[in-house]
Amino acid sequence: MNEPSIKPQIASKAQLTSLLDNDVLARLERMRLKPRRRLTNRSQGEHLAGKGGSSIEFSDYRDYAPGDDMRYVDWNVFSRLHRPYVKQYQYEEEMHVTILIDASSSMQYEDKFLRAKQMAAAFGLMGLLNVERVSVYSCNHTGQRPVFLPPCTGRANMSRLFEFLERLEAGGDFPVEQAVEAVLARHRGRGIAVVLSDFLTFGDLTRPLNLLYSAGLEVCAVQILGPSEIDPELTGDLRFVDSETGHTLDVSSVGDLLGIYHQHRLSLEEELAQHCRSRSGRFLAISARDSLSWVLFDLLRRRGWVQ
């Protein structure tokens, strides 16, 4: 599902953002995030969070109790059963969509960072248009505070979101596990946390996932890898240089080790997926060269991330 080019188009007057085409934006307007858990804020929103709400979405019946609003009594049922039942509707509460973009140097390769920004724009747009609170964090260098877009909501902040994302630059050595902690230090509210990263880190990923879970955020981890990371074509004796730390690693007969490499890459995916599942979260691994339309409108739908 690769597309020939995913280079960002120059934003013109006709284009709202260089990250996404207008037709993609149009299709995204009709989509909304579909979290697994009821992780919403108590403030009024448009997110259906549970029974007893005042939305138009029917949820259940219950026996009438004195003091209930007579407007919710289902008179059709009363006429057949001669007993009053009250219709219940789902709550519409506000959900905080937190988007964390890994902007370390490792994301500079093979349009991984661009794809991360596009995915962030898509998730953010869905959040804004569904009157959710959307905040975006980008972590570059260790020790520095993350660059972030303060929580905002509504269509009015759409351009603000796009401008923020368009200005983001990759580079730095901020490990994703530390980035999560840095984000949670500033973050308030429950909802979902979309983590866009390659998850290539030496650190332990269970702690940040636990922190997200305990913070009331449903983890939606998206691993974005480049084609050369998914299927490297290397042989001979090489000295690998880490783009973030500058550390080197001498590897002989690389071609002979590609099998083991693939095992470890798939093992990392499986491990991440397992960690997310065990914390009621979700995990998705994509290639930076996968078609954006396919990812947004096919893969995410099939995986139940959006509706």
Partner 1 sequence: MSFPGFASLWAAWLFLIAAPLIVFYFLKLKRPRYEIPSLALWRAVINDQRVNSPFQRFKRNVLLLLQLLLLCLLVLAAMQPFIVGGPARGDYVPVLIDCSASMAATEKPGGPTRLDVAKERIGELIDALLPNQRMSLIAFSSTARRLTDFTDNKRILHDALDKIEVVDVPSRIEDALQMTEALVRTTTMGIDSVLMFTDGNLPEQVDFELSFQINYQQLPPAGKNIGITALNARRSSGGFWDIFVRVEASAAGQSAADVELVQNDTAAGTQHVVLDAKEAERLVFRVESEQEAQIELRLRPSDDDSLASDNVAFLTLPRVRLLTVFVPPDLASYRHALRAIPSVELLPQEGADAKPTLPTYDLLITDRKEDLEIEAAAALYVGIVPNDLTSLVKVNEGSADVVDWQRGSTLLQHVQLAEIQSTDEPHSTEGTADGDYEQLGYEILAFGRRGPLILSKRVGARVGFYLLFHSDRSTLPYRVAFPIMVSNLVEVALQQSSLSEVRGESTGVLPPLPLDRSRAYTVRGPEGFELGVASDENALVSGIPAERVGTYRFYDGGDVRKQVGVGLLDARESGLTATDEIRFPEDLAVSAAVEDVRTDKPLWPTFAILGFCVLLVEWWYFHRRPGGVPTQ
CB 90 within 8 A of CB 55: yes
Query: Which is nearer to partner 1, 157 or 287 (by Cβ)?
Result: 287
Residue 62 CB, shortest distance to partner 1, in Å, is: 53
Least distance from partner 1 to the Cβ atom of residue 15, Å = 30
Q: Enter the tokens of residue 21.
A: 């085409």
Contact call for residue 236 and partner 1 (CB under 8 A)? yes
CA-wise closest residue to 269 among 257, 287, 251, 248? 287
Nearer Cβ to partner 1 (128/209): 209
Among 53, 229, 285, 292, binds partner 1 (CB under 8 A): 229
Question: Using CB under 8 A as the criterion, what x/- string covers residues 180-219 for binding partner 1?
Answer: ------------------x-xxx-----------------
Number of residues that bind partner 1 (CB under 8 A): 43
Question: Which region among 67-75, 93-101, 141-149, 240-248 touches partner 1 (by CB under 8 A)?
Answer: 240-248
Q: How far apart are CA 118 and CA 210, in angstroms?
A: 26
**Binding residue for partner 1, selected from 247, 270, 277, 301, defined by CB under 8 A:** 247
Tally the C-alpha atoms within 13 A of residue 214's C-alpha that lie toward its C-beta.
Answer: 10
Per-residue x/- mask for partner 1, residues 108 to 147, rule CB under 8 A?
xx--x-----------------------------------
Amino acid in position 37: R
Q: For residue 152, state whether it binds partner 1 (rule: CB under 8 A).
A: no
> Which tokens in the block code for residue 29?
């307007």
In SS3 terms, 147-211 reads as: EEEEEECCHHHHHHHHHHHHHCCCCCCCCHHHHHHHHHCCCCCCEEEEEEECCCCCCCCHHHHHH
Kindly tell me which of 245 and 278 has the beta carbon lying closer to partner 1.
245
Answer yes or no whether residue 248 interacts with partner 1 by CB under 8 A: yes
Report d(CA 70, CA 183) in Å as an integer: 46
Closest approach of Cβ 264 to partner 1, in Å?
5
Q: Is 43 in the site for partner 1 (CB under 8 A)?
A: no
179, 203 Cβ separation under 8 angstroms: no
| Closer by beta carbon to partner 1, 9 or else 228 | 228
The rounded Cα 28 to chain-centroid distance in angstroms is 14
- The dihedral region occupied by 73, where left means phi > 0, alpha psi between -120 and 50, and beta the remainder, is beta
Name residues contacting partner 1, limited to 256-275 (CB under 8 A).
256-257, 260-261, 264-265, 268
Written as six digits, the tokens of 38 are 């009821």
Cβ(65)–Cβ(12) under 8 Å? no
Please select the residue that binds partner 1; options are 38, 232, 294, 299, rule is CB under 8 A.
232
Contact positions vs partner 1 (CB under 8 A): 105-109, 112, 198, 200-202, 226, 228-229, 232-245, 247-257, 260-261, 264-265, 268
